Amino acid sequence: METNEKYHQPVMGGEVVEYLVHDPSGIYIDGTCGNGGHSRLIIENLSDRGRIICCDLDPRMLESAKRRNMEVAERIKYLHCGYHQAADHLESEDRPIAGFLLDLGISSMQLQEGYGFAFMTDNPLDMRFDPESDLTAADIVNQYPLQELKKIFKEYGELSQAGPIAHAIVNARKESRIETTFQLRDILTSFFKKDRLNKGLAQAAQALRIAVNNELENIKKGLRSLTGLLQSGGRFVVVSYHSLEDRIVKNYIRTYSRESGLPPDLEEVLETREFRLQPLFKKALTPTSQEIENNPRARSAKLRAAAKV
Ligand SMILES: C[S@@+](CC[C@H](N)C(=O)[O-])C[C@H]1O[C@@H](n2cnc3c(N)ncnc32)[C@H](O)[C@@H]1O
């Protein structure tokens, strides 16, 4: 594997530290460790007593972060697990938690290495964050019924051509199993105009990746279970990259911070919620134009933060 230097530009790093680190000697969870760029920034803003616990579903990312943050290794505990499962992996000395960060989605390294997440190079159609998990993107495109495929491309990829795309996949797989990113790319290409091709392919890849990794359910579960671990006054910061993710975070903060005025289907939460949240600001923060210029990957980022009260 190449050096991971080129992947180190933690998105909205200054804002993450500003809103997350309120107790410099606390224990923080970086739920989406990736290359460890945010973890490093957080550690640099803690006192000698402060520590960080890094989770990632992808062991290749944890290895990359370990190499990146070797100098501060004794301050970091690595857990190969989902952030939505972290509560089951912590030991008593790992609590209480002062704050957690979720920098959602996929890292540049996962996109650019041969992990089958994108259509730029030909690789097995995989898209699993965790190579030990069962379901691959190839399983989905070869086995899921037509209506299920249509739902995935419509809901997770927000593609208006979801129906015809699903039909084309079902027809193609009758001829031969779809095993590679280029095989799928060839099926998808005719559905997008030339100037929209890259965007369309990226949306299709996003849809499959979300389905393979159960991403939206993990966000819902992870937010609740990690907030449960926070000490009173503890904080969380979430950076999201598309509206499906951001909507979940926004609704979560809203549902757990309001005293009244929730839609009828959420009224029940007001009575049963086990903690309350205080948003740290109202509208989601976005990166500065200078950050976007330096790191185009940041352009769709939205940051939200709240404290447990
Ligand atoms: C955008 S990257 C994080 C980049 C990181 N903040 C950095 O500075 O390098 C997202 C990471 O989250 C991981 N991931 C996705 N879903 C996860 C989950 N449910 N639990 C833990 N890690 C997850 C991915 O494998 C990926 O490494």
Domain with residue 145: its CATH number is 1.10.150.170
Looking at residue 113, its pLDDT comes to 86
What is the bridge-based pairing of β-strands 302-308 and 51-56?
Answer: unpaired
**Shared domain check, 105 and 14:** yes
Digit-by-digit pLDDT tens for the chain (309 residues) are: 344 454 568 999 999 999 999 999 999 999 999 999 999 999 999 999 999 999 999 999 999 999 999 999 999 999 999 999 999 999 989 889 999 999 998 998 999 888 889 998 999 999 999 999 999 999 999 999 999 999 999 999 999 999 999 999 999 999 999 999 999 999 999 999 999 999 999 999 999 999 999 999 999 999 999 999 999 999 999 999 999 999 999 999 999 998 777 777 777 777 777 899 999 999 999 999 999 999 988 999 999 999 999
Of residues 132, 150, 131, 130, the one with CA closest to residue 140: 150
CATH of the domain at 73: 3.40.50.150
**Shared domain check, 209 and 229:** no
Looking at residue 5, its pLDDT comes to 52
Gap between the Cα atoms of 26 and 106, Å rounded: 27
Pull the structure tokens for residue 68: 């990146």
Looking at residue 263, its pLDDT comes to 73
Of residues 204, 211, 217, the one with CA closest to residue 140: 211
How many distinct structural domains can be found in the chain? Answer: 2
Q: Is 113 in the pocket of ligand 1 (CB under 6 A)?
A: no
**Shared domain check, 291 and 144:** no
Its sign, for the CA torsion 60, 62, 63, 67, is: positive
Cα 270 to averaged position of ligand 1 atoms, centre (Å) = 31
Cα 107 to averaged position of ligand 1 atoms, centre (Å) = 7
Gap between the Cα atoms of 163 and 178, Å rounded: 18
Cα 102 to averaged position of ligand 1 atoms, centre (Å) = 8
8 A C-beta contact, residue 255 and residue 112: no
**Shared domain check, 120 and 79:** no
Gap between the Cα atoms of 95 and 92, Å rounded: 6
Looking at residue 79, its pLDDT comes to 98
**Shared domain check, 221 and 182:** no
Ligand 1 pocket test target in 32, 54, 55, 291 with most atoms within 8 Å of CB = 32
Q: Is 117 in the pocket of ligand 1 (CB under 6 A)?
A: no
**Shared domain check, 152 and 80:** no
Evaluate the omega torsion of the peptide bond into residue 59 and state whether it is cis, within 30 degrees of 0: no
Residue 186 DSSP one-character state: H
Last residue of a domain, one of 213, 243, 276: 213
**Shared domain check, 262 and 197:** no
**Shared domain check, 284 and 219:** yes
Q: What angle do CA 28, 279, 156 make, to 5 degrees?
A: 80
Pull the structure tokens for residue 59: 């062991």
C-alpha distance across the termini of the chain, in Å: 44
**Shared domain check, 223 and 92:** yes
Last residue of a domain, one of 213, 238, 267: 213
8 A C-beta contact, residue 184 and residue 178: yes
Last residue of a domain, one of 195, 213, 231: 213
Its sign, for the CA torsion 59, 60, 61, 66, is: positive
- Helix (H) or strand (E) holding 146, with range, is helix 146-151
Q: Is 107 in the pocket of ligand 1 (CB under 6 A)?
A: yes
Q: Is 297 in the pocket of ligand 1 (CB under 6 A)?
A: no
- Domain ranges, residue 275: 5-109+215-308
Looking at residue 8, its pLDDT comes to 63
Q: Looking at this protein, which amino acid is placed at residue 53?
A: I
Cα 73 to averaged position of ligand 1 atoms, centre (Å) = 19
**Shared domain check, 300 and 184:** no
**Shared domain check, 16 and 100:** yes
**Shared domain check, 20 and 91:** yes
Cα 61 to averaged position of ligand 1 atoms, centre (Å) = 8
- Kindly report the protein residue whose alpha carbon is nearest to atom 12 of ligand 1: 32
In this structure, the chain runs to a length of 309
Cα 105 to averaged position of ligand 1 atoms, centre (Å) = 6
